[in-house]
Amino acid sequence: MTPPDASGSPGGRWSDLDRPPLNGTALRRALVREGGLWHRLDLVQRTGSTNSDLVARAADEDLAEGAVLVAEEQTAARGRLDRRWTAPPRSGLFFSVLLRPTEVPVARWGWLPLLTGVAVATGLSRVAGVDTALKWPNDLLVTVGGEERKAGGILAERAGDGVVVGVGVNVGLRADELPVPQAGSLALAGAASTDRDPLLRGVLRSLEDWYGRWRSAGGDPAACGLQETYAAGCATLGRVVRAELPGDRSLVGEAVAVDGDGRLVLATAAGVQEPVGAGDIVHLRPA
């Protein structure tokens, strides 16, 4: 008899023994607890986008804060600037969470994707034993063969009076599976562990911790240590970068700071400092 998959239904989900399915029951037992942030965790085998699904559910249902939706495979995943990407089944962590920081001023909600980046980097570093860095605003970088590679990304979307934050991390992706040469994975970066169950537990616990600190501080990134921690782990600071801005504009300068609003501050050749709140950042020169 074919063993059941992670969702409890029979199927050939064990065909790639290097990529066992996540254990939804064990994850819920470890993460869903009285008084904790995560109140439910749903695991699906395949979907278009966990972010799209959770945004729709937040609109249609009376869904409380702390819902987590995890997928073994996404077929229409979206990144920043509406970029599309796919990955083999069970090759990474693909999940979204619903947050409702109603006691935090909306003007400070822009810190949520940066906060998530810090939490993901912290959780992965602890469990996988691999050095990670953040590219502003929320790309996760690892080092593969002496080169920085993107191994993950974060997308935050408004959902009524809340925010859905989606995370995608390449865990066991092999070199011949990379979608672009600039991509990487924890496995290619020499991670001590690519077991996705403890990785996901570590990331969600780290996110709960950082979110709790930020929320308790009323969203003040300096008071809760978020701004300092983000800057310390940001590979963009100290580099000359090109910011590709909306409206086909671009700006070149040295990234010198992340301000209180989460914007990247560029010192330009004209001798002025300009904050960038949205756009694509290209690293032009190492720090």
Angle at the Cα of 113 from the Cα atoms of 131 and 175, rounded to 5 degrees: 40
Q: pTM, whole model, 2 decimals?
A: 0.91
Q: Is the pLDDT of residue 214 over 90?
A: yes
Cα pseudo-dihedral 17, 21, 26, 28, rounded to 10: 170
Average pLDDT over residues 21-39: 97
Amino acid at 26: A
Q: What are the pLDDT digits (tens) for 150-177? A: 999 999 999 989 999 999 999 999 999 9
State the Rg of the chain over Cα: 19
pLDDT above 70 coverage of the chain, percent: 91
Q: Helix crossing, 112-128 with 196-216: angle to 10°?
A: 140
Mean residue pLDDT of the chain comes to 91
What is residue 77's predicted lDDT score, i.e. its pLDDT?
A: 67
Q: What are the pLDDT digits (tens) for 105-125? A: 999 999 999 999 999 999 999
- Tokens 């290097």 correspond to what residue? 18
Beta strand 67-71 with 40-44 is: parallel
Q: What are the pLDDT digits (tens) for 57-89? A: 998 777 999 999 999 999 976 655 456 667 899
What is residue 3's predicted lDDT score, i.e. its pLDDT?
A: 38
What is residue 83's predicted lDDT score, i.e. its pLDDT?
A: 61
Confidence tier at 4 by pLDDT (50, 70, 90)? very low
Confidence tier at 216 by pLDDT (50, 70, 90)? very high
Amino acid at 184: G
What is residue 287's predicted lDDT score, i.e. its pLDDT?
A: 61
Q: What is the DSSP letter of 107?
A: G
Return the half-sphere exposure (C-beta side, CA atoms, 13 A cut-off) of residue 77.
Answer: 28
